[in-house]
């Protein structure tokens, strides 16, 4: 199964670093559509997740046209506060792309308008600002992975000082 996380013109390096870390630990592919509001070597980006950069499958694009020209297969879901369906209502299949917009503007409304059935939202209180981008990506990614049964992910943990098998 292939999960693709797409960031359209990310502006805040810490968010992109956190999202890169989410991609690294889940095995998701990261797609970044330029222009970005920072440089990849930004100190804040390094602090937030650049130490995971070598684990990433990452591709950069010179705009939306370039992205869609190079990614014609798969199914696209657009995460937006303007969506009419919730992210849990969607059925995610192999080669899913979950697409997120700029922190300050979201996704272009023309893109949303032409993809109504694939626009999904994360429920939240009315008259509130949207969730942080990196939190939204994590919510979306883990819903896709939950539906797929968390393929190839370790779903158990162990204690460092104790043995779970000896707990009552």
pLDDT in tens, 12-67: 988 998 999 999 999 999 999 999 998 876 565 556 556 677 888 999 999 999 99
Structure tokens at 124: 């939240």
pLDDT for residue 46 = 58
CB atoms within 10 A of CB 115: 16
Structure tokens at 38: 């920072």
3-state secondary structure 63-112: CHHHHHHHCCCCEEEEECCCCCEECCCCCCCCCEEEEECECCCECCHHHH
pLDDT digits (tens, 9 = 90+) for 89-124: 999 999 999 999 999 999 999 999 999 999 999 999
Query: Which strand (E) or helix (H) includes residue 114?
Result: none
Strand duo 96-100 + 3-8: pairing: parallel
pLDDT of 137 > 80? The answer is yes
Looking at domain 3-166, what is its CATH homologous superfamily?
SPOUT methyltransferase, trefoil knot domain (3.40.1280.10)
With 0.85 as the threshold, say if the pTM is over it: yes
Residue 164 banded pLDDT, cuts 50, 70, 90: confident
pLDDT for residue 41 = 67
Q: Are 77 and 87 in contact (CB under 8 A)?
A: yes
For the chain, the domains span 3-166
Q: Are 46 and 79 in contact (CB under 8 A)?
A: no
Binding residue ranges for S-adenosyl-L-methionine: 101, 122, 130
pLDDT for residue 161 = 92
Binding residue ranges: 101, 122, 130
pLDDT digits (tens, 9 = 90+) for 71-94: 999 999 999 999 999 999 999 999
pLDDT for residue 166 = 86
- Alpha carbon dihedral 103, 1, 63, 20, in 10-degree steps, equals 50
Task: Give the whole-angstrom CA distance, residue 23 versus residue 57.
Answer: 8
């Amino acid at each position: 199964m292939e999960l693709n996380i797409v960031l359209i013109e990310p502006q805040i390096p810490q968010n992109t670093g956190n999202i890169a870390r989410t991609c690294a630990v889940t095995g998701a592919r990261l797609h970044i559509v330029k222009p970005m509001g920072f440089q990849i070597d930004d100190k804040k980006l390094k602090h937030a997740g650049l130490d995971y950069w070598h684990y990433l499958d990452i591709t950069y694009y010179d705009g939306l046209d370039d992205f869609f020209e190079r990614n014609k297969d798969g199914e696209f879901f657009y995460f937006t506060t303007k969506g009419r369906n919730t992210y849990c209502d969607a059925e995610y299949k192999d080669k899913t792309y979950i697409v997120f917009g700029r922190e300050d503007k979201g996704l272009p409304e023309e893109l949303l308008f032409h993809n109504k059935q694939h626009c999904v939202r994360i429920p939240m209180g009315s008259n509130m600002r949207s969730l942080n981008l990196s939190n939204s990506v994590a919510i979306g990614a883990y819903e896709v992975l939950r539906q797929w049964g968390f393929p190839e992910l370790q779903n158990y943990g162990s204690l460092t000082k104790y043995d779970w098998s000896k707990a009552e």
